[in-house]
Amino acid sequence: MSTPIKQQDINRIVWNACDTFRGVIDPSQYKDYILTMLFLKYVSDVNQEKRREYLEKYEGDEARAERAMRMERFVVPANSQFSYLYEHRNEPNIGELIDIALSDLEEANREKLTSEDGSGIFRNISFNSSNLGDAKGKNSRLKNLLIDFSALDLMPSHLAGSDIIGDAYEYLIANFASDAGKKAGEFYTPAEVSELIARLTKSEPGARIYDPTCGSGSLLIRAGKVVGSNNFRLYGQEANGSTWALAVMNMFLHGFDNAAIRWGDTIRNPKHKEGDSLMKFDTVVANPPFSLDKWGADEAAADTYNRFWRGVPPKSKGDWAFITHMLESAYEGHGKVGVVVPHGVLFRGSSEGKIRQKTIEENLLEAVIGLPVNLFFGTGIPAAILIFNKGKAANKNVLFIDASQQYHAGKNQNKLREEDLQKIVSTYEHFAKGELAAGVAEEKYSYVVTPEELQENEYNLNIPRYVDTFEEEEEVDIPAVQGEIDRLEAELTEVQGEMKVYLQKMGL
């Protein structure tokens, strides 16, 4: 092709394809159909281009080309090729043909596209489902979907950059999140928040990076990208089957073929282990579900991995359960943890207060960062980021940042600007390097707190206790106010007198 395909070209074509499902099923559901079809089209186009290259290399020898194709990233059976489905787009059983194509693609790539128990990434989606309407309506929608995607050329040699398809996938996930309401938080962390956590926990080359509640994988991918090289390994786990499938596809579309994304409940059944112990990581990042009810408290006391030795969080609020898991999964001596939490985590008492106190006394907590309201899809409540460091060494102080007032106010959702991210990261880096001593403050923004101060406040981490953001009201000029009241009362008396005259003239 003469003109390389850019990300906005992909964004436009695929977003228009969403019209096929709008008004038929919920956005939180049709994202699975759209993103699955995008993945299938990409895999098919890559496969097609590679096959053509091998045929050219082996001078048309089909047998040699087929042998070479078995060593490629994906094996794509003939009936799983997008071109095959497009050719059969008018068949009355097109939904069934697509389902078979996906099943055969899974079977041909079991190590990559199935979980440990053999469940494939497409198990929770059916293009032959009655959810897509009656037979006539469903066939029409699927035909239009195939026609829309046929306009996409995703062959790597035709793309304007190596990460174009991955970035397009992220763009689509973000747009689906904006449409999905409360369900959005189940699969997506806003890009600016992901970027902030990634920078705050920046990993060194060679790092193992882990997200125990990885959603569609966006935060995990950003944490990898800030490393600055390809020398790292990504690990994730996700409890929701449909979202786990999105994460697996997301990794492949970004070229992270060696990412290990597992499906399952991280608290009840952590999948990343070495022998009988939890696997350890250099960096652990997450945006866990806020205050999750029924997270597994009944089983926590007898936890096989002894993760809850600091205490068991309350049954109805699993925040500290996820934080505890993350701390126990980080390497001793240097592991870092970055986690998004609701503000209640900072000050709630009872068992949560005891766990919080122990983590502070262990000198694990490094920073508490308050974020603006309305950053997250599906909830307007403010959140904070906690940074833990298992290598704090001699520095026992904790940095508090109140970044709640620095953001771009959007119509439906607020956003952190680049200058907001830079200020937070710069302040944190100065502290981490030992350049901010105890008691050092930037007015109404940050403050370095000593262990003694935390103890005096009974280990309450509520940010306003340490960063004073109180705005004094202007002093009221009492004599001036009284003068204004007197003037208004005089005007009122005059108006009332005039009204009385008018009423008398009217005989009232």
Nearest Cα neighbor of 461 from 341, 305, 318, 314 is: 341
Q: Give the contacts of 110 (CB within 8 A, at least 6 positions apart).
A: 118
Residue 2: the pLDDT is 55
Pairing of strands 336-342, 365-370: unpaired
Nearest Cα neighbor of 175 from 412, 416, 476 is: 412
pLDDT tens for each residue of 288-335: 999 999 999 999 989 999 999 999 999 999 999 999 999 999 999 999
Q: Strand ranges (DSSP E) for 214-309?
A: 232-238, 260-263, 273-274, 277-278, 283-286
Residue 79: the pLDDT is 97
Task: Read off the pTM.
Answer: 0.88
Q: Is 263 helix (H, G, I), strand (E, B) or coil?
A: strand
DSSP secondary structure string for all residues of 115-182: -TTS-BTTTT--TT-GGG-SHHHHHHHHHHHHHHHHT----GGGBSSTTHHHHHHHHHHHHHHHHSGG
Residue 117: the pLDDT is 84
Q: How far apart are CA 294 and CA 374, in angstroms?
A: 26
The two three-digit tokens of residue 204, written as one number: 């060194």
Q: How far apart are CA 504 and CA 344, in angstroms?
A: 65
Point out which residues pair with 111 in neighbouring strands.
none
Cα R_g (the chain), whole angstroms: 29
Residue 451 has φ and ψ, to the nearest 5°, of: -60, -35
Mean pLDDT, range 14-36, rounded to an integer: 84
pLDDT tens for each residue of 158-171: 888 778 899 888 88
336 near 389, Cβ under 8 Å? Answer: yes
Q: Is 230 helix (H, G, I), strand (E, B) or coil?
A: coil
Which of 247-256, 269-278, 311-320, 475-484 is the least confident region? Answer: 475-484
Query: CA distances (Å), 232 to each of 114, 145, 242, in order?
Result: 23, 37, 26
40 near 105, Cβ under 8 Å? Answer: yes
Residue 424 has φ and ψ, to the nearest 5°, of: -60, -50
How many C-beta atoms surround the C-beta of residue 288 within 10 A? 24
How many C-beta atoms surround the C-beta of residue 84 within 10 A? 15
Q: Is 49 helix (H, G, I), strand (E, B) or coil?
A: helix
95 near 133, Cβ under 8 Å? Answer: no
Q: How far apart are CA 236 and CA 446, in angstroms?
A: 32
Q: Is 211 helix (H, G, I), strand (E, B) or coil?
A: strand
**Which CATH superfamily, name and number, covers 183-465?**
Vaccinia Virus protein VP39 (3.40.50.150)
Residue 210: the pLDDT is 98
The two three-digit tokens of residue 397, written as one number: 């102080």
Which of 105-119, 456-470, 493-507 is the least confident region? Answer: 493-507
Residue-range domain boundaries for the chain: 7-179, 183-465, 476-508
Question: For residue 385, what is the enclosing H or E element?
Answer: strand 383-389
pLDDT tens for each residue of 383-409: 999 999 999 978 999 999 999 998 898
- Only one residue has tokens 């026992």, namely 396
Q: How far apart are CA 208 and CA 283, in angstroms?
A: 6
Residue 1: the pLDDT is 46
Residue 185: the pLDDT is 58
Q: Give the contacts of 423 (CB within 8 A, at least 6 positions apart).
A: 403, 406
407 near 414, Cβ under 8 Å? Answer: yes
The vertex-219 CA angle with 217 and 225, nearest 5°, equals 100
The two three-digit tokens of residue 301, written as one number: 């006391």
Q: How far apart are CA 239 and CA 266, in angstroms?
A: 7
Q: Strand ranges (DSSP E) for 316-380?
A: 336-342, 365-370
Q: Is 429 helix (H, G, I), strand (E, B) or coil?
A: helix
Task: For domain 7-179, give the fold.
Answer: Ferritin (1.20.1260)
Residue 493: the pLDDT is 81
